């Protein structure tokens, strides 16, 4: 009897097998479809197209501190440094071939969903023009808070999903299989429930996971949803974290966990482990963010698959109003018993960052908790001030200490 794999071992095995299949896609009679991370990839999986995410590959290079080098190459080609570091590092990789991984296979088609941002759409259009390849943009109007308008928005998105299916049929010359889509949706629904269960384990005290664990754990949700191995991975991960909870094991020991923090925005990828250690030295653990919850889908399998797909993908936090985002974040504060927040103004991700000042004001007013706001870039080290940010973090924890003494 073979020994059961840990979640870490499973993640590596799933990723290795996925990439191996992708690099041999054409030999297997399959196509490669580049996709944005938030997009109805279930349609790709159901239609036997292998989804590849240039964002994930960019993260690997940015985490390895290759951002400045790759981005500089692209700026020399005429692109502004105000563009997303994901796009700049990806284009830099394509110009130089430099990467900390084996790279990613070339695409046959593109699916861009602007529920994340508009830069992704333009980035994919640039790549599509270079290869004279087909690209489909799944347009998601902002999910405003008026219920009647939302109904019309969802109807519009369902029509687009039908157009996307027609697009896939035209590219592949193959009829779309709705029964296969229902099977894929079943796996997506199951894995989404387990992924959310994993994230919500940060409610325990001490918390057995930090946002850094969540960011590592979300990778399989991004690129393998709609598959049975995705379900198996999250079941294993939940079992492992539950075992930690049962033993009272936290990211920090219970007596040292002073501050349970909210994080706004994407992470600063090249400071990933440094931030975890620095905040931990002050008794702080970042528990969650709206970003990691972006893949906490709630698919209703009793509905038409296209309807529940449309409802979920159009309503992601990055496509919601500031008011909605505030409601989502406030809910996390209550559920996770958070007593601090760090708000990252990410120059690479303006679509998410433009709301940060207003969101900070709303959350501070509603929770009474002060916020630390800092500006930098998620992937380009040239825009990170080590001394300034460390000083501000130190000052912030001094503020929290004083507040804690006052309320004690």
Given this model, what pLDDT does residue 58 score? 97
- How does DSSP assign 233-251, residue by residue? HHHHHHHHHHHHHHTT--S
Task: Write out the two tokens for 374.
Answer: 């800092």
Given this model, what pLDDT does residue 276 score? 93
Given this model, what pLDDT does residue 117 score? 85
Given this model, what pLDDT does residue 267 score? 95
Contact call for residues 176 and 170 (beta carbons, < 8 A): no
| CA gap 342, 117 in Å, rounded | 22
**How do 109-113 and 135-138 pair as beta strands?**
parallel
DSSP class of residue 49 equals E
Given this model, what pLDDT does residue 85 score? 97
Tell me the percentage of the chain whose pLDDT exceeds 90: 95
Given this model, what pLDDT does residue 1 score? 47
- What pLDDT band is residue 119 in, cutting at 50, 70 and 90? confident
Given this model, what pLDDT does residue 332 score? 97
pLDDT, tens only, 25-72: 999 999 999 999 999 999 999 999 999 999 999 999 999 999 999 999
Is the pLDDT assigned to residue 408 strictly greater than 80? no
Average pLDDT score, the chain: 96
Residue range 233-254: mean pLDDT, rounded: 98
Q: What does the CA dihedral 330, 335, 338, 343 come to, rounded to 10 degrees? A: -40
pLDDT, tens only, 320-335: 999 999 999 999 999 9
- Compute the C-alpha angle 52/200/376, nearest 5°: 60
Is the pLDDT assigned to residue 360 strictly greater than 50? yes
Contact call for residues 231 and 190 (beta carbons, < 8 A): yes
Nearby residues of 332 by Cβ (< 8 Å), 6 or more positions away = 262, 288, 290, 293, 338
What is the residue whose two structure tokens read 């996770």?
Answer: 336
- How does DSSP assign 318-329, residue by residue? GGB-HHHHHHHH
Is the pLDDT assigned to residue 407 strictly greater than 80? no
Is the pLDDT assigned to residue 391 strictly greater than 90? yes
pLDDT, tens only, 134-153: 999 999 999 999 999 999 99
What is the residue whose two structure tokens read 């405003």?
Answer: 144
| CA gap 69, 313 in Å, rounded | 34
Nearby residues of 370 by Cβ (< 8 Å), 6 or more positions away = 340, 364, 396, 399, 400, 403
Residue range 163-186: mean pLDDT, rounded: 98
- What pLDDT band is residue 2 in, cutting at 50, 70 and 90? low
| CA gap 308, 403 in Å, rounded | 44
The helix/strand/coil state of 77 is coil
- Total residue count of the chain as it appears in this document: 408
| CA gap 136, 405 in Å, rounded | 55
């Amino acid at each position: 009897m073979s020994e059961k794999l840990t979640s870490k071992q499973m993640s590596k095995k799933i990723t290795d097998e996925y990439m191996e299949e992708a690099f041999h896609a054409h030999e297997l009679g399959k196509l490669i479809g580049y996709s944005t991370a938030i997009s109805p990839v279930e349609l790709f999986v159901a239609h036997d197209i292998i989804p590849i995410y240039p964002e994930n590959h960019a993260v690997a290079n940015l985490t390895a501190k290759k951002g400045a080098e790759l981005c500089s190459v692209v700026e020399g080609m005429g692109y502004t440094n105000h563009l997303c570091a994901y796009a700049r590092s990806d284009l830099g990789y394509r110009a130089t071939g430099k990467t900390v991984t084996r790279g990613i296979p070339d695409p046959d088609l593109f699916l861009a969903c602007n529920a994340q941002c508009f830069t992704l759409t333009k980035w994919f259009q640039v790549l599509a023009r270079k290869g004279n390849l087909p690209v489909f943009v799944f347009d998601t109007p902002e999910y405003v808070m008026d219920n009647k308008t939302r109904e019309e928005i969802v109807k519009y998105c369902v029509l687009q999903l039908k157009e996307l299916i027609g697009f896939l049929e035209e590219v592949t010359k193959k009829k779309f299989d709705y029964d296969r889509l229902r099977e894929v949706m079943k796996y997506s629904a199951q894995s989404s429930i387990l992924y959310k269960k994993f994230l919500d384990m940060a409610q325990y005290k001490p918390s057995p996971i930090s946002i850094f664990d969540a960011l590592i754990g979300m990778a399989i949700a991004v690129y393998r949803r709609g598959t049975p191995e995705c379900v198996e991975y999250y079941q294993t991960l939940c079992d492992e974290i539950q075992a930690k909870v049962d033993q009272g094991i936290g990211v920090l020991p219970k007596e040292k966990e002073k501050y349970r923090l909210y994080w706004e925005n994407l992470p600063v990828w090249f400071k990933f482990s440094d931030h975890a250690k620095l905040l931990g030295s002050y008794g702080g653990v970042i528990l969650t963010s709206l970003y990691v919850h972006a893949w906490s889908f709630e698919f209703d399998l009793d509905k038409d698959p296209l309807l529940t797909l449309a409802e979920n993908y159009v309503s992601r936090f990055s496509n919601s109003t500031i008011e909605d985002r505030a409601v989502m974040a406030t809910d996390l504060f209550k559920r996770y018993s958070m007593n601090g927040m760090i708000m990252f103004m990410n120059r690479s991700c303006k679509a998410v960052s433009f709301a940060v000042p207003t969101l900070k004001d709303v959350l501070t007013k509603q929770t009474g908790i002060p916020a630390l706001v800092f500006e930098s870039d998620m992937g380009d080290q040239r825009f990170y001030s080590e001394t300034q940010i460390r000083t501000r973090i130190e000052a912030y924890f001094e503020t929290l200490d004083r507040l804690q003494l006052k309320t004690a």
